[in-house]
Structure 1
């Protein structure tokens, strides 16, 4: 099942089982890890397949208990287009935005640093209200790209963040939103800003890659969890 839209293929396999009656309405679907082994795909692919099925009305996701076959099977034979894979987007961002952060550390002006501080202040206000602001987050990452002085980098970040408005990415964000995730995002942004201001290109690259790896780790946590992924090291630089 090698494909750019692998999660869509997995979702279609599960729909086939639902339509055949092998998975009747109300059936609790196996855990993601079990489905991953059974279908020979990664857990991120299974998680995205579940979300695609939920968006299309074939599955109901119940926080803390799992995914269930919906009581009424949708008439549509095809699964709705849920947008690009969130985990593929994060993998691309980790590579591309990591290098952009390194370039920003070399080229950033005092005005660029001030712009990052403004975006941080915006995100901090939303964080204190318990909100995960897409626009404030986007403004910070665009600010990093703008600090390179390279308009192509800015366009690349704009394109990546445009794809993040897709249903898969948005739903994963909703399912995994918690206080620790917001705190981690805030701390990660501050670390990236400090590394750029310190003109440390390698640290800026690593800080950005750590940040995106943290987002990925949260996306793989169970929706009911309010913990921290603890998979990446924190890089800081004094202001």
Structure 2
């Protein structure tokens, strides 16, 4: 297939637009299975996260159908004359920013947190653990825990920064990746990660709090790169300071 390497600015959007061009030209007719993400990433000279996000952007706009366990296909009803819609910010860019910012926020919270702050984190953890929690409520419980950490620093600018980051996480790419990779193993990992972060903050251990937060976000990133709805897979925690290269 005549794929071409792309430039480094807004990579996932450029990859998606290149696929749209091939669909419109007839090079990729309806029903065509697109190359595997790793193969497509190699052809285009980009990372797998970029390709994953491009496929989500194409799915959201109706050009591609992502089928669990089998791959991505050109949609039978692909809008050949349609436009590639705005899928929101890159989920992996958000995670990279969170790994840096929230790691330092957690370390600061470990130095500044009062008993009332720890109690607030415990309440958020209890909310997140509710078995009946789904969808919007699950997101809000997760958000409450992370915002509670920022509030524990006593710095309103850090709290506002966290609010902005979590606002961007309502983007369509982040939401769809969350849906595709939602499973019980991921939920248990998140719960264990949250508990480790809480314990480090409560213990006043800034170094451990930073590492626990960075590990947590690296785990989210790992799940976002798994096949859709993959379950029972052991998370391979990455080096918290390294993460995934996007170039």
User: Are 1:40 and 2:54 matched, yes or no?
Assistant: no
Structure 1 partner of 2:245: none
Out of 121, 145, 152, the residue aligned to residue 157 of structure 2 is 152
Residue in structure 2 matched with residue 129 of structure 1 by the alignment: 132
User: Which of 235, 240, 246 is matched with 1:229 structurally?
Assistant: 235
| TM-score, with length taken from structure 1 | 0.94
Alignment check: 8 A CA contact 2:24 2:80 kept? no
- Structure 1 residues 130 and 180: alpha-carbon distance in aligned structure 2, compared to 1, 3 A threshold: farther
- Give the CA RMSD over aligned residues: 1.5
Could you say which residue in structure 1 is the equivalent of 2:244?
none
Of 90-99 and 73-82, more deviation after overlay is shown by: 73-82
Aligned to 2:98, what secondary structure does the other structure show?
A: helix
TM-score after normalising by structure 2: 0.91
Give the gaps of 5 or more residues in structure 2: 1-5, 241-247
User: For residues 4 and 130 of structure 1, what CA distance do their matches in structure 2 show?
Assistant: 38
Q: Is the 8 A contact 1:130 1:179 kept in 2?
A: no
**Conserved in 1, the CA contact under 8 Å of 2:106 and 2:201?**
yes
1:130 is displaced (CA, Å) by 6.5
- Unpaired runs of 5+ residues, structure 1, are 235-239
Quote the residue 1:89 is aligned against.
94
CA contact 1:218–1:228 (8 Å) conserved in 2: no
User: The residue matched to 2:129 in structure 1 has which SS?
Assistant: helix
Residue deviations 1:47-98 (CA, integer Å, cap 9, x gap): 0000000000000111111110011221544210000000000000000000
Cα separation, 1, equivalents of 2:181 and 2:145 = 21
Distance 1:74 1:41 in 2: 26
